[in-house]
Amino acid sequence: MNRAIKITLAASLLAGLTACGNTTGDDGDVGALGVVTQTAAEMIAQRRQADTTAAVAKTPQEAAAEALRVNPGPLIQAGFENLGRTQIMAMTGQNGGLRTYMTPSEEALILRGGMLVGTRGLGHDLSVAEAQTESLIRAGASGSGTRIMRYYGGDGLERPLQFTCSVGPGPRAGVTVENCEGHGVTFQNSYMRSGNQIAVSRQWIGPKLGYVTIQTLRP
């Protein structure tokens, strides 16, 4: 029986006991039924507090290790800098080379071999990214190209932003950087490859969401 069901049943039991009325002893102390009710309520509160504390105390490394243990499918770990949180995301669908990774709250990243293509459920979502520089990044080569980032507007229509980008080696061996500018905005994406796949990256989603750091936990 899972924890949520246990808590629900305990709450129902307490409600039923309370409906019968509390009694007090002749000396004014809480009666036996009141003590039982109070003790059970305290136990539930302590369990909830312990669960909350454990969740808060869990490091990204611990969360990744637990996710790998319980989920046999492809997994990524995504750190959203502007949102101030790091989440484990499991693959929920694949369409050709595109993979959708999602949290239980249905926030999603769409990736192609580790390259960010779009987001869903985060607000200010990236509808689709079209990068001419992708082949350069995967090859670890230098060059330039355009990047078009399409965003959903409040009217549900896509708004494209075009950036001019240059690709080259980063400050560390094995790192490729993509520097982009346009519309008064500059950003830098960083990529580490494993074969033709991008295993670790820091990619810019957009003006509102900022950067996301993506690490492949299980391909």
For 141-172, how does the pLDDT look when each residue is reduced to its tens digit (9 = 90+)?
Answer: 999 999 999 998 888 889 999 999 999 999 99
For 183-200, how does the pLDDT look when each residue is reduced to its tens digit (9 = 90+)?
Answer: 999 999 999 999 889 999
Is the model more confident about 202 or about 36? 202
3-state secondary structure of 134: helix
Is the model more confident about 17 or about 33? 33
Q: Which two tokens stand for residue 95?
A: 């369409």
Q: Torsions phi, psi of 67, nearest 5?
A: -65, -40
Largest Cα–Cα separation, the chain: 88
Half-sphere exposure of residue 26, counting CA atoms within 13 Å on the CB side? Answer: 0
Check residue 218 and give its pLDDT.
95
Domain locations in the chain as residue ranges: 3-57, 60-218
CA distance 37 to 15: 9
Q: Please state which of the four CATH numbers 2.40.30.10, 2.60.40.1180, 1.20.1050.10, 2.40.360.10 is assigned to the domain occupying 60-218.
A: 2.40.360.10
